[in-house]
Structure 1
Amino acid sequence: MSYTPMGDAAEQGLFDIARTLLQQPDMCALVNAVRLHINQTGLAEQVNLLLCHPHQPRVCFFSVDGQGEGIRYEDETVLANGPIRRVLSRPEALHCRYHEFTETWPQLGKLDLYPPFGHYTLLPLAAEGRIFGGCEFIRDVDRPWSEKEYSRLQSLTQIISVVAEHIQTRRVSSDNYALLCRERDDFRLLVAITNAVLSKLDLDELVSEISREIHTNFNIDSISIVLRSPRKGKLNIYSTHYVEKSAPISAQSELDEKGTLSERVFNSKEMLLLNLHHQEQHAPYERMLFDMWNNQIQTLCLFPLTYGDKMLGVLKLAQCEAHIFTAANLKLLRQIAERIAIAIDNALAWQEINRLKERLVDENLALTEQINNVSADFGEIIGRSDAMMTVMKQVEMVARSNSTVLILGETGTGKELIARAIHNLSHRNNRRMVKMNCAAMPAGLLESDLFGHERGAFTGASAQRIGRFELADHSTLFLDEVGDMPLDLQPKLLRVLQEQEFERLGSNKIIQTDVRLIAATNRNLKQMVADREFRSDLYYRLNVFPIFLPPLRERPEDIPLLVKAFTFKIARRLGRNIESIPADTLRILSKMEWPGNVRELENVIERAVLLTRGNVLQLSLSEMAFSDPAQSPPEEPETDIAREGEDEIQRIKRVLKECNGVIAGAKGAAQRLGVKRTTLLARMKRLGIDKDLC
């Protein structure tokens, strides 16, 4: 390009133009300033800038309309294959008329960027020996530029080249600085969120902290953590919805995994970004989002929470407006999701450690309780009678199965001993049997003791507690006195037996358990079912394999064996030396009724050992208020006989009146009617009988 000497005035004019152009903030402003200059000087009516991308075949078009509003257009084909391509291959000016322009580049002629014109020229923009674009000057009239005008255009283009490169460099520096500032801010935010979530080990507190941080920093409306439930095919969702900024709504729910967006992310392990419309069919969670935000369009973004090779869950973000999920935000949220995955893995591990720790504590307490309550005589079963041999055969038959066993018998017959024998012969004997006496536990605490409770489930629940069913997982649970279980608790026991799952008090989390149940009672459950004191469905579920323990009076041949065993065991414990038991003592003990059964016999022997002086067992029947059954037969209780024409209501009222309203005891109405006190009370309640009005 030739240089034409100029006078001082011309040089001053170019200096003023250069100073004006250098003050322009961007390319469109630069074009507008050049347009004003060429309009004033009559050089041209329109000017456009074409800038080439340094690493891609892409050209950017800058211009202004008649009102001075900027026009920016960019593509990879039409502009790149237009006049600029010829200038890049041959760095010299290009001149043409409108019909030549449209014939050579018809695709450009179809764009609104080039309305009909008279004459056109394109001069290259160069810097440091490299052409980086071109400057188009357009005249409305078909009049080419004179040599003097063309020289002025060349000088002006040189200035435009310097200014355009300066604006590009400034823009790149500004972009780089903005990017650096954003990366710095993102790093600070990432560190802050990482520290916040990693400091939370409780899962509920962690989810709350995650929701607060993401909402505060990204203004996202709904944040959810989705984890797989212990129940197969189920998902647990921990959600926080900011419908009202000052009062977020937190919720936990369980739903089916099949057909959900979370299932897609679990399977693909890739981020999912999509827009939802309320007219479409959606899973329950997405439908709930539309209901919560009045059917506004929802943009959902789901990030996989992966730590190592483990897919822990899904971070689900919902927003009514899509502009939140920009490329920069998605990149940062992906990094945050990686930190959240680490925090969730820590929380789940801490939760499992706590569960195992609390389980160990509760197991130790339960086992200590059992050891303290187990009598030494339950080391083996004592008895050679036909009745006891039948029981032992039943024990051997049922022990290896997982069937529920119901042990029936009077108080003191050794039902717990039979339960322990079944457990010891089963394949579950590698773990301790867990036991519980339903009659010894207050009704209000029985449910908590059976199923456990969460912290804060009720007044006084200051810590989480593991229930007996959870302690007995893969073992045996012995429920003694199951007939005394409250009616309102029986359906929950039935559910565990049928489904092998339950929930702690104060929790909606389903806990799976593998427990073999052995129940025992001294009550007539069949009669209780008839009297509506015991659920029939639970009775049939318990009565899978009943074992009846005979009372001691029905196996008198076992009494001498039991007496000898008790005597030597108690004497050893008390530090006494008893070598023999008189035959008369054994004969008399064998003839007694023993209403308290084996437990009563043991108490009698312990008292005899305490009173014995010497090495021969001394038993004083008179001191123990015993009488020979052969000499004093037991008094038969008086039983009322229904009178002719008397229905059940009339009979109960008459007996109550005769007993002065007394229900229990030897002279009570229940004894007269031949039923238990609880049975009579249930009947009175059913028939609407008030004892005070009789």
Structure 2
Amino acid sequence: MSTTAMSDLGQQGLLDITRSLLQQADLNGVAETLTQRVKQAGLAERAAVLLWQPGNQRVSYFTSPAVDPCRSGEETLLAQGPLHRLLSRPDTLQCDYSEFCASWSALSQSPFYGPFGRYAILPLAQEGRIFGGCEFIRANQTPWSEKELQRLQTLAQLVAIVAEQLQTRLSRSADRQQLRLERDNFRILVDVTNAVLSRLDIDELVSEVAKSLHHHFHIDAISVVLRSPQPGKLDVYTSHYLDGDTPLHDVAEVEESGSLSEQVFKHHQMMLLTLADMNQLAQGDRQLFSLWGNELQSICLLPLMSGETMLGVLKLAQRNEQVFNASNLRLLRQIAGRVSIAVDNALAYQEIQRLKERLADENKVLTEQLNTLDNEFGDIIGRSDAMLEVLRQVEMVAQSDSTVLILGETGTGKELIARAIHQLSQRREKRMIKMNCAAMPAGLLESDLFGHSRGAFTGASAPRTGRFELADKSSLFLDEVGDMPLELQPKLLRVLQEQEFERLGSNTLIRTDVRLIAATNRDLRQMVEDRQFRSDLYYRLNVFPIQLPPLRERPDDIPLLAKAFTSKIARRLGRQIDSIPTQALRTLCDMPWPGNVRELENVIERAVLLTPGNVLQLSLPEWSYSPASLPAEPLLEGEDEAQQIIRILKETNGVVAGPKGAAQRLGLKRTTLLSRMKRLGIDKDTLA
């Protein structure tokens, strides 16, 4: 059976899932269908629905295959489990199995929860009331990405609607007319949801909202009101259905002061007014009645909320005042919730577009700087595909406050990349604070990071400000973070999570706003497996990893680096070096460079010092090549490097990687071989 990625569902896919859920007779069927869907999408291996019973403080549990909590005696345990925490903190809860066992040890022994890799529970809510949770369980420990969480949230919203409808159907089975109304309202809600969620342009979004509301409710004028970038102003996007189904679209900027929208922004409450209240309206709202020749009978304003944040106002005007009855208002509130999500997405998209344009401008500046030795980023030199990808990632993450983990061998330029991220961020007005975690013992490292109060330990005669305080509103670069002692790692994790810490010898909490950039040349994932590094800290650091390529995998950059280092070092030493022989550059490109860019710079400095004239004379120290850096198979007589690579590729049928691939036989890394093939113009797909 073919699977469909949640990211590719689109409107039809969302509607299909909704229909599948609605077809179920009970919540066990919903859980079974939900499990099938998340399995197909690769999001989880199991799903369950939990409903809170406020009367008896218990939990109903629905899964596939069905398990009766009453028979197993687990209702009380379930009531003290993750759902109980969700009721007090209504946001997504994630943890791995060890954290689950630590928090709910008794529940982890129940038949509901065998060993698993990753656990998440999302709230089921209707009209601001949490009535249950939607569980998702993964076999592996891979956390859900932001995109995957958005999909799970969409599923949870659908399950919430379905669960609410099922409960209503069961509790009011005698009232068939009410059920039909609920069904029709749900269809309207799904229709509106599908119509608006994919719209990322505000004008298109308002047009779709207006079309749906006019079709289902025959509302005459539909507006979305947003705060303007201009202080005290509102942007009003309106569709007027003056003549049939052909709307008149209008965008206007009005004063916020005295308007109906101002009151909704202030109180976060729905407002309903009739024609009799017109004298209370500000001039901008009176114009709406005037446009319709005073035919409008009522206006309804609904807040558009994202959590506790007020995004805007949905303003509806109607000639028939009977439209805004209790039943329709209840549905319109739900629709406003879906429109809020769409507006939030559209505003985020606008912001992303703005940042992309800004990044594009900064990219041009960065490119110019990279080509100028005297500028701020003159030491970041490289036009190879690998380095261009690194710079692209730098541009992508710089404007956010996300934690960055820079990985790479010693001498690859991790600090330069960290400085580039800081200089492109909005924190660039303050200097970046740097610290090497491998440079001092644990006691001094803790004091250096968090500071200490007077008398905290022997010799602490004066208080000291730590690096986290110094880096407030700036960036903190922790080099060699893999060497941080285990006993200090929980404190680092806490300050990353809570943005607060205590100085040594003090109980006073200090708040800080720090953007962390970490770097290491060690394999943190392996260290986690070896219990040399905390897994929770690793996941916290590994938000946005950037892997720096070793110099041997970017040979195209070696001539650029060599020329740049020669010019910089010669200028510093007061020497005049005009050129580098081609053979010297070729020799540099063929070397393995275990010390990477730092080693290359040292070699160039040695050469500049030993060059008597103005043509660089390469004076190389003796090299000890490791077996992995030399070809495993010798060149045949009369065969050059390109011919050897072509021969080996033919013998391996074009296979590059793997134990029987060309890279293994040549004693090279796969990326190194691919780089050489590109430099030599070898295409394995064209080899006979």
Whether TM exceeds 0.5 here: the answer is no
Greater Rg over alpha carbons, structure? 1
- TM-score, structure 1 normalization: 0.36
- TM-score, structure 2 normalization: 0.37
